[in-house]
Chain A
Amino acid sequence: MSRLTEDDLVAALHRIVPEPGDLLELPAAVRQRARGMRARRRAAGAAGLVALAVGAGVLGPALLGGAPDSTVVPARGATSPATTTPTPSGTPSWVLSTPTPEAGTVLVTLRARPLRLPALAPGARCPVSAGRTFPRGPRMFSARFTAVGTGPVYLAPGPTVTFEFPPSPGSIGEGSGWSAAKVGWVVRSPYAGPMLIRGRRLDGPQELRFDRYLGEYLYGQGGPRPDPDMAYRDSSDAKQLRVYLGELRLRSPGCYAVQVDGSTATGAPVRETIVFRAEVARR
């Protein structure tokens, strides 16, 4: 038995905890998140009232001996559950995939662009994108980090992304068949515009899917939802780098690529391809 004392533990905890980076933007970020929470609570309250009213409408006739109408007519503008458009609740403001008219137009335009990714023979060398090192910064990684890409968008970490496969019991991918790998999409100025990210495996037929960052839906509504693409609204005119957290969802290791489509403020199209290697993490 070791002689670990309470004093040892106190000293160790204070010795190893890293010093956080600059937190100057935190108060504004917190207030923005609080406003989002308040809006979601109001929306949830309103949805509860609607559900109550609908429930009363359906159960009322049944309880009174009448048969409810079995014909369900979708509301005007309602989207099919089969589509990948998420609900606004729990969706951060910078995720573009919200059903607003502006986002809808942008997404339609970007999704209409063809996905042009090369194919590789099985076992061929994976031509991973070149990497570059970025400095630490506020609202970003707390240390220097490497990301791959030619810009304006970079994938971090790169060029190798590790994931656990098969998804272990208790992990977010459990039962779905899709393993998750947390990544950051780094955006460099002067680009500031929408980004649609799609991809697939280059040396095999497997799909590549995308999800919001885990922490983003844990405090919101809904759960993991691997989508065939992911869109971000980057309209910042700030000079510093921005990082949008997200998750890649995979089912096999291999050589993968993503295509990032966007457009500048003048409407000029932007397209970038980022190639990376996906490896199963050693347990």
Chain B
Amino acid sequence: MSAVAERDALVEQAEFDAFVVARSKVLLKTAWLLTGDWQLAEDLVQTALAKTYLAWDRIRDDGDVEPYVHRVLFTTYVTWWRRRWRGERPAGELPENPERDDPYARADLRDALVEALAALPPRQRAVVVLRYYCDLSEADTARALGCGVGTVKSQAAKALARLRDSALAESIQEGTPP
């Protein structure tokens, strides 16, 4: 490898590392909402980032990194879901961080949310996470999921309707500070 190519490779690696450091926590939280399990979330994020790394040259030049990672994250998630990872029951405990408010209410809310999200079909779940957690617009959500804006709207409406009928709605009402 020539000196120039070696330098370019190092620069590329440094850029990628900086991106990973900057975005990995958000991606990990997003993956946790999708999977409900830390180990699977880490696997999902690592896989999505590894695929991104392989395409880094192309997407970096296009300035398309963030949407690309989201797209890979969600397509990988849907692929895994189709391959029946949903049969797994996480045996480890969910992390408990220092709580500033009522820890029991928050734990109840977390359980209710994980259960409610798990009951949604994968695409509806992805729409909920992208729209209401990642704060993506309907157009960006559609781009990430590879579907139309109309599909995002209808999937979001269906997901909200299902969540309103779940125990989550009650937990949110109970857990909302006055």
- Interface residues of chain B, those whose CB is within 8 Å of chain A, are 13, 16-17, 20-21, 24-25, 28-29, 32-33, 38-40, 43-47, 49-51, 53-54, 76, 79-80, 83-97, 106, 109-110, 113, 128-129, 132-133, 135, 160, 163-165, 168-170, 172-173, 175-176
Contacts and interface: CB of A to CB of B under 8 A. Distances in A.
B76 to A, nearest CB: 7
Contacts of A6: 132, 160
A26 B24 contact: yes
A47 to B, nearest CB: 19
A141 B169 CA distance: 30
B53 A34 contact: yes
A164 B29 CA distance: 27
Nearest to B169: A2
B97 A18 contact: yes
A173 B89 CA distance: 12
Contact of B50 (A2, A30, A141): A30
B13 A182 contact: no
Q: Sort A-B residue pairs by CB-CB distance and give the 3 closest, nearest first.
A: A171-B87, A2-B169, A215-B43
Interface string A164-186: 10011011111000001111100
A281 interface: yes
Contacts of B97: 18-19
B92 A141 contact: yes
Interface stretch (A8-16, A66-74, A265-273): A8-16
Residue from the set A21, A26, A216 with the largest chain B CB neighbour count within 10 Å? A26
Given A18-B110, A143-B93, A157-B93, 18 more contacts: A8-B176, A15-B175, A16-B113, A17-B32, A23-B21, A33-B49, A141-B95, A145-B93, A164-B87, A171-B88, A172-B84, A172-B87, A172-B88, A182-B39, A182-B90, A214-B40, A215-B44, A216-B43
30 contacts: A1-B164, A2-B164, A2-B170, A2-B173, A3-B169, A9-B163, A13-B33, A15-B175, A18-B96, A18-B110, A23-B24, A26-B24, A30-B20, A30-B46, A30-B50, A31-B13, A31-B50, A33-B49, A34-B49, A34-B53, A141-B38, A142-B95, A143-B93, A170-B86, A172-B85, A182-B88, A215-B39, A215-B80, A216-B43, A219-B47
Interface residues of chain B: helix, strand, loop or mixed (majority):
helix
A250 interface: no
A170 B121 CA distance: 14
A184 B90 CA distance: 11
Residue from the set B32, B80, B92, B113 with the largest chain A CB neighbour count within 10 Å? B92
Contacts of A16: 106, 109-110, 113
Contacts of B164: 1-2, 4
A95 interface: no
A145 B92 contact: yes
Interface of A: 1-4, 6, 8-21, 23, 26-27, 29-31, 33-34, 36-38, 136, 141-143, 145, 156-157, 161-164, 167-168, 170-174, 180-184, 213-216, 218-219, 245, 281
Residue from the set A15, A141, A168, A171 with the largest chain B CB neighbour count within 10 Å? A15
A39 B45 CA distance: 20
A172 to B, nearest CB: 5
B160 A9 contact: yes
A14 B133 contact: yes
A219 B83 CA distance: 10
Contact of A161 (B32, B91, B160): B91
A21 B97 CA distance: 10
Nearest to B107: A16
